[in-house]
């Protein structure tokens, strides 16, 4: 066993003495040791209950003859840090989480790992560590929050963000906003729509790193506790079979993940996280791959924020296994990749079926003929830009309009809420990329404000930063190269005409090549005074089109 190097033999008597100081018996020390990486804390609603889930995992490990040893990682809630300086620490925390799990699993040579994340960057950070370490590993998340209810309709966190703009334009009272604020997030779990956290929890299931239904069982269901116990038992099976992430995270597995992501209309942030996880697994996953798969994958689930359904609806409809089974009817799912069940994808999907054909539509009757995400290229985004096309109003799929340029998110949101954005304008928010921010802030504030003031259907928003999984409208992010490294977005001027063609996968600044070259030759990088972790992060982080990973 891997853990023998820290506990077996005469010379390890001091080490065993320290384990006994923890209260471990000789029998527990002899058993396989399982690291439980828990991101529980009292700051994130999605993580408040993870101690209970961890107890279930540990019970499963003990049931199967192992010894669980729990440790903790940091966790940051994108909703709470949205719209202020704290958001610069969200994406950057992904690398800290990956490094911390790696550090613990190398310092203490566990025989296996169970990862317990739930929100945004914690999930991909832990999966990056799993790929990097390549020891038997299983992920079990805290699960999605239930949707809230207001005046007979289902709502979620995005409703609150968008309601702020509605109050500003007089379409909603502050009294109603206060009531929505109190009922949109009814309890623990990752926010109820197909936002980044739930997209990534579902993706973990598709990749084969989680047991079936990990992505959709609501956080408050007893079924989630049983899943934790099953995960604890199953990690012991993975150790016996030496089933490691390198045998699971194959190219076919990543293509499956992108396919399912397109079918459920996931967060644009998956285009950051999947390439980053693939890189750790030694696989190149380009943005072109996302486009290729999107072009042949129908959009079958109309999930919030683009549609009316929430994760609880998807779970009742059959969950990710039912969606994958439907996609496999059209030959869109690779059947051979192994999963932590010990079986292949094809074996896992036997007998799965859809229970609600409106939540998971059949292949013959999709919501859209192509996938939820699209990657655009052009002289404004030579290395790509990402948009959730399934959440864009049909009238904005093709658009040409004058640029309105802002050098930060903060400048833009004030103008939006003051109702100073005109119909047809293309807002450009720059110097918010991985290096320029630094940290590539999510911009749910500006996009929700656009919805609230009624500009999501007749104006667009472009950025070298990124958007929340809860964003809807003609919001195009991840523009690469970013402004801070001399990308073309850095030389756009107020009034420049910008062409958006989402079906044609194009994003262009309508000036001559000569004019563009001349502007770029005169561009100078603005200076920012940074310190601490962000200073180191800005020095090492790479472009969004590579997953915003750190330089090797």
Q: Among all residues, which ones are annotated catalytic?
A: 468
**Three-state DSSP class for 498?**
strand
Q: Quick one: tokens of 208?
A: 């084969």
Residue 468 zone, left/alpha/beta (φ > 0; ψ -120 to 50; rest): beta
**Three-state DSSP class for 374?**
strand
Task: Kindly state the DSSP code that residue 131 receives in the 8-state scheme.
Answer: H
The span from the CA of 470 to the CA of 162, in Å, is: 10
The span from the CA of 399 to the CA of 148, in Å, is: 35
CB 236 within 8 A of CB 59: no
User: In Å, how far are 173, 387, 517 from 191, measured between CA atoms?
Assistant: 24, 21, 44
Is it true that the peptide bond before 309 is cis, omega within 30 degrees of 0?
A: no
Q: Quick one: tokens of 382?
A: 């030579």
- CB neighbour class for 329 (10 Å; exposed up to 12, middle 13-18, buried from 19): exposed
Q: Quick one: tokens of 257?
A: 């993940």
Measured from the Cβ of residue 410, the count of other Cβ atoms closer than 10 Å reads 16
Residue whose tokens read 């959709």: 216
Residue whose tokens read 């197909």: 194
The span from the CA of 440 to the CA of 433, in Å, is: 4
**Three-state DSSP class for 195?**
coil
Residue whose tokens read 């390549």: 134
β pairing state of 381-388 and 475-480? antiparallel
The span from the CA of 18 to the CA of 260, in Å, is: 46
The span from the CA of 165 to the CA of 474, in Å, is: 17
The span from the CA of 226 to the CA of 205, in Å, is: 16
CB 409 within 8 A of CB 429: yes
Q: Quick one: tokens of 517?
A: 């070259």
**Which is nearest to 145 in space by CA: 15, 256, 265, 45?**
45
Across 196-210, b (16+ Cβ under 10 Å) vs e yields bbbbbbbbbbbbbbb
Residue 394 zone, left/alpha/beta (φ > 0; ψ -120 to 50; rest): alpha
Q: Quick one: tokens of 27?
A: 């029998």
Torsion sign across C-alpha atoms 217, 223, 225, 229: negative
């Amino acid at each position: 066993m891997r853990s023998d190097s820290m506990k077996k033999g005469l010379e390890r008597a001091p080490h065993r003495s320290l384990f006994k100081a923890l209260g471990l018996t000789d029998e527990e020390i002899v058993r396989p040791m399982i690291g439980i990486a828990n991101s529980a804390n009292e700051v994130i609603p999605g993580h408040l209950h993870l101690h209970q889930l961890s107890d279930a995992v540990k019970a499963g490990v003990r049931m199967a003859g192992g010894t669980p040893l729990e440790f903790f990682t940091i966790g940051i809630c994108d909703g709470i840090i949205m719209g202020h300086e704290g958001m610069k620490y969200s994406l950057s925390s992904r690398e800290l989480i990956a490094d911390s799990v790696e550090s613990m699993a190398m310092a203490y040579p566990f025989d296996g790992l169970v990862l317990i994340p739930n929100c945004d960057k914690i999930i991909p950070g832990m999966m990056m560590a799993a790929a990097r370490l390549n020891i038997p590993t299983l992920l079990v998340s805290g699960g999605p929050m239930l949707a809230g209810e207001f005046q007979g309709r289902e709502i979620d966190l995005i409703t609150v963000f968008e309601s702020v703009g509605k109050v500003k334009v007089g379409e909603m009272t502050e009294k109603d906003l206060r009531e929505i604020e109190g009922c949109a997030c009814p309890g623990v779990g990752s926010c109820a729509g197909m936002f980044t956290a739930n997209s990534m929890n579902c993706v973990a299931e598709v990749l084969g790193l989680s047991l079936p239904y990990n992505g959709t069982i609501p956080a408050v269901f007893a079924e989630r506790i049983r899943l934790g116990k099953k995960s604890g038992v199953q990690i012991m099976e993975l150790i016996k079979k030496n089933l490691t992430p390198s045998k699971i995270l194959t190219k076919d597995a990543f293509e499956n993940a992108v396919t399912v992501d397109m079918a459920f209309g996931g967060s644009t942030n998956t285009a950051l996280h999947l390439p980053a996880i693939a890189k750790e697994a030694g696989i190149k996953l380009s943005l072109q791959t996302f486009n290729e798969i999107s072009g042949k994958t129908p959009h079958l689930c109309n999930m919030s924020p683009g549609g009316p359904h929430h994760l609880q609806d998807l779970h009742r409809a059959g969950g990710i296994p039912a969606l994958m089974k439907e996609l496999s009817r059209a030959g869109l799912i690779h059947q051979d990749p192994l999963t932590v069940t010990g079986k292949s994808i094809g074996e896992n999907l036997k007998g799965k079926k859809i229970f609600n054909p409106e939540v998971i539509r059949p292949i013959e009757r999709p919501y859209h003929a192509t996938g939820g995400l699209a990657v655009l290229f052009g002289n404004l985004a030579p290395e790509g830009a990402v948009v959730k096309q399934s959440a864009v109003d049909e009238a904005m799929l093709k658009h040409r309009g004058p640029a309105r340029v802002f050098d930060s998110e903060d400048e833009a949101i004030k103008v939006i809420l003051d109702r100073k954005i005109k119909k047809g304008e293309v807002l450009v928010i720059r110097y918010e990329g991985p290096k320029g921010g630094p940290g590539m802030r999510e911009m749910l504030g500006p996009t929700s404000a656009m919805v609230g003031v009624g500009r999501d259907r007749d104006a667009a928003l472009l950025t070298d930063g990124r958007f929340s999984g809860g964003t809807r409208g003609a919001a195009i992010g991840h523009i690469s190269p970013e402004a801070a490294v001399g990308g073309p977005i850095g030389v756009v001027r107020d009034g420049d005409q910008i062409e958006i063609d989402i079906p044609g996968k194009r994003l262009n600044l309508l000036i001559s090549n000569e004019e563009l070259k001349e502007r770029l030759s005169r561009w100078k990088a603005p200076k920012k005074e940074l310190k601490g972790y962000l200073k180191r992060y800005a020095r090492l982080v790479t472009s969004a089109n590579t997953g915003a990973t750190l330089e090797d």
